Structure 1
Amino acid sequence: MTAQNDDSPFSSLEIPFTAATQLRDTLTAQVENGVPQLKSIIPNETWLPDYPTVPLESSEIIACLAHELCTSRLNKMYPYLWLVATQSSSHISPLHEQILRGRDIIITENPEMHLVWVNNKVFLKPVPAFLFCYDFWHLYLSRSHSGAPSLDPSMADELRRAALGYLRTYRYLIQHESDFRIAKREHLIPADVEYPRFMTFVYGFGRVQDHDVSLRYSYGQLRLTRLNLWIKISLGQWIFHKVHWQYADIFSQFYAPILFLFGVLSVILSAMQVTTQARPDWVVFVGVSAWFSVISLLSVALLMALLGGFLAFMVFRELRFALCAKLGT
């Protein structure tokens, strides 16, 4: 992994936007018993904006941040990500171009699925409202993280890097007013935000460098099929995220290559049969044709055995999971 560099242009810029350019001002910092705390300016609202189950308490906020922002698996896969995607953090197509490429925007709340694409789908995580608030950044996502003074420094650093990298992606996703309209239509950003204000807010994140963000955000869009392949090698896990959920869908992806293989073998075997009947005196060719026929039969038998074994493996894996869940182990 590449080392994170603390001596960066961003070091002097704690927060990439100002209180004047924040998009949410419903949270304010107040000092109680010598410790800064977040308070809502809305009467009787004691939770994070849009997160009514998360109270404005330090431990709850930190847990929410970790759940909403951290991409631990992708960070661990960093040495292999060059095999998954283009080695550029700016390799992110604007929203209008995602549409041009025939991709449907699928909402996800899993930060690890943000900017992952497969076939005609691209997964995007909407921006949590609290990330638009200056005082929230000052207390929990600045280098001082004064809102949680007991927080482990490495965890605080990872949360800040994850937030910077995540919001920087929207600097690339939304580059034109058409992108902005798509983002509002898909509920990626709040409906009451105006285009000039949003662009002013997100502009500062364009100055964030790769060494200021989580390792995952050194890359832009990630292809899911490749993630599913390389996670087996990098982390020893079977899959990153399921593409197909039904057995029929899983096996249907093998139909085209199998039919192509059968078609090629059929043409070759038919040609060999005609040639051996027309030229029985070609002894060498007749011998090669005989062996090729045997090899073709064995290959088909092996292929059927592999498909049957794959089906048995999936059934066994799901049965094992069900038994473990039933027994509570």
Structure 2
Amino acid sequence: MDKLSGPPLEPPFGFHDSPIRHCLAHDPNAEQSPHQRPFPQAICALQSEASLVLPAVYHDKSHSLQSIDENDEASIQKFLEWELKVPRLNEIHEHLWLAGRPASARPLHRQAMLGRDIAITEQVDLHMVRQESRMFLKPMPDFILDDAFWKDHICKDFELYECARGFLLSYIWLVCSKSDLRMAQNKGLLAPNVSWERWKGFTKSLLCTINFESLEGVNRRYHYGELRLSRLNWIYRLSSRNRGLTTLVRGYMYGYNRYSDIVQRNFAWVLVAFVYITIVLTAMQVGLATDRLGNSDMFQNASYGFTVFSIITPLIVIVVIILNLFCLSAFNVLATLSFKKKMDGDRRILLEHNNSGTP
């Protein structure tokens, strides 16, 4: 945890500014899906207990299930670090200009105009990262709208404080109009019972403490808006401090679940090359049938060389594709076996501790 110096940190909004402060006394939509029903009454009550705004479990960076002990500050801080901090992006910050512009993200209605689908993610370092026609967005957590929770937990860690302020700033970018608010609610990004008046007041309150121009007191990841995943992958492969075989293969986010997707995305240029070769060979065949080119030694030699090249190149490309898929398959198998061995060892140790009665 970063040590604080200077005056104590304060939440970026006041007690009465939270857009979920006023809500129904009960939850009439309990049978609806979590993304469609309003926030439960416990969240909207004038209380600040962590048990009311934190989940029971979460998945960490290794996709292992972790529980949250609401009576243990260290457990809560560990969850908040995973939930809000973006160390991977901060690590490669000086290269982020290659993946996006240092400008605000486009609002939600603009994303829809550009034909982008909103994909929900709970991984904060994928928030506002786009992959082709998809934009990854993290829903607004319950606790980040509770000023008392800020004072009890977030304001104790300066880096966490800056990340939380940056996350709130991202929603100022994304939700600027009534249409943006409706889209955010329909996609499960914001609670359905947040009215436009409450959101507008909340935004004005944030803008009094978060300068969207100078970005002072905001984590530097949020000096950039949208980031391209394809470029992030290459930046992370080449610039990460944890460079290794895993980083080289998987990059920033490994988005393939089928080998056919790998071939389609990474070797689509091969089809274009083959079409071009076919056109050139056809043109050469026509040229050889003419008297002027057919009697030219230079054209004859060029035709001979390009014909041999056209025969050998497809074979080389096929071999490269097969080797690529074989190496990737071998890596995935070895990584799976290594992960299985680690998990089996961890579970065996836990089982031995439980059987021996060790706490």
Measured against the shorter chain, the TM-score band is 0.7 to 0.9
AA paired with 1:198? Answer: W
**Residue 310 of structure 2 is aligned with which of 293, 296, 302?**
296
Contact kept? 1:129, 1:190, Cα under 8 Å: no
Alignment deviations for residues 219-261 of structure 1 (CA, whole Å, 9 cap, x no partner): 1011111111211111132321133310112212256422211
How big is the shift at 1:23? Answer: 3.5
Residue 42 of structure 1 and its aligned partner are, at CA, apart by 8.1
CA-atom RMSD in angstroms? 2.6
In structure 2, C-alpha distance between the alignment counterparts of 1:249 and 1:231, rounded to whole Å = 21
- Per the alignment, residue 22 of structure 1 pairs with 18
Moved more, 217-226 or 47-56: 47-56
Q: Tell me, yes or no, if structure 1 residue 113 matches structure 2 residue 126.
A: yes
The answer (yes or no) to whether the contact 2:20–2:44 under 8 Å persists in 1 is no
Write the letter of the residue equivalent to 2:14. Answer: T
Residue 274 in structure 1 maps to residue 286 in structure 2: yes
Give the Cα–Cα distance (whole angstroms) in 2 for the partners of residues 212 and 42 of structure 1: 28
Q: Judge which range, 244-253 or 203-212, deviates more.
A: 203-212
Q: Which moved more, 1:11-20 or 1:181-190?
A: 11-20
**Distance in structure 2 (CA, Å) of the matches to 1:12 and 1:321:** 45
Asked if 2 retains the 8 angstrom alpha-carbon contact of 1:84 and 1:223, the reply is yes
Return the alpha-carbon distance in structure 2 between the equivalents of residues 202 and 140 of structure 1.
22
Structure 2 unmatched runs, 5+: 23-42, 58-67, 346-359
Report how far residue 298 of structure 1 moved. Answer: 2.9
For residues 60 and 194 of structure 1, the distance between their equivalents in structure 2, rounded to whole angstroms, comes to 34
- Deviation per CA, 1:116-175, whole angstroms, max 9, x where unpaired? 111221111111111111111122233xx2xxxxxxxxxx11101110101100001000
Q: Following the alignment from structure 1 to structure 2, what is the Cα–Cα distance between the partners of residues 66 and 46?
A: 15
Correspondence for 1:231: 236
Matching residue of 2:271: 259
1:168–1:202 Cα contact (<8 Å) kept: no
Residue-pair matches, total = 294
Gap change, CA 1:248 and 1:290, over 3 Å in 2: same
The answer to whether the Cα contact below 8 Å between 1:95 and 1:173 also exists between their aligned partners in 2 is: yes
Matched, 1:135 2:139: no
Q: Per the alignment, in what secondary structure is the counterpart of residue 127 of structure 1?
A: coil
Tell me the residue number matched to 2:107.
94
Distance 1:40 1:195, change over 3 A: closer
Q: For 1:146-157, what aligned pairs fall within 5 Å after superposition?
A: 156-157=157-158
**Secondary structure in 2 matching 1:105:** strand
| Larger displacement relative to structure 2 (192-201 or 99-108) | 192-201
Counterpart for residue 217 of structure 1: 222
**Residue-by-residue CA offset, 1:30-70 (whole Å, 9 max, x unaligned):** xxxxxxxxx99689x76141524531542222112111101
Runs of 4+ in structure 1 off by over 6 angstroms are: 39-43
- The one-letter amino acid of 1:139's match is D
Q: Summarize deviations over 1:272-320 as a string: whole Å, max 9, x none.
A: 1232243332111101111122223332222122111111111111111
User: Aligned equivalents of 1:187 and 1:94: distance in 2?
Assistant: 16
Aligned partner of 1:112: which letter? Answer: D
Tell me: CA distance 1:40–1:263, structure 2 relative to 1, closer, same or farther (3 Å). closer
Q: 1:233 to 1:321 in 2, by over 3 A?
A: same
Matched, 1:51 2:55: yes
Q: Distance in 2 between matches of 1:42 and 1:169?
A: 26
Aligned identity (percent) is 29
State the partner residue of 1:84: 99
Aligned mates of 2:176, 2:44 — CA distance in 1: 32
Contact preservation (8 Å) 1:115, 1:221: yes
Contact residue 107 and residue 124 of structure 1 kept, 8 A: yes
Which residue number in structure 2 is paired with residue 167 of structure 1?
A: 168
Query: What is the CA–CA distance in structure 2 between the aligned matches of 1:57 and 1:193, rounded to whole Å?
Result: 31
Whole-angstrom distance in 2 between the partners of 1:230 and 1:12: 37
Residue identity matched to 1:14 = E
Displacement of 1:83 in angstroms is 0.4
Per the TM alignment, residue 13 of structure 1 is displaced from its structure 2 partner at its CA by 7.8
C-alpha distance 165-46 of structure 1, shift in aligned 2 (>3 A): closer
Q: Which range moved further: 234-243 or 217-226?
A: 234-243
What amino acid sits opposite 2:55 in the alignment? Y
**Worse-superposed segment, 305-314 or 11-20:** 11-20
Deviation digits for residues 164-219 of structure 1 (CA, Å, limit 9, x no counterpart) = 10110000100001111111111111222221112211334343343412221111
Q: Greater share of strand residues, 1 or 2? A: 1
Gaps of 5+ in 1: 1-5, 27-38, 146-155
Q: Which moved more, 1:119-128 or 1:272-281?
A: 272-281
| 1:60 is the counterpart of 2:75 | yes
Matched, 1:321 2:326: no
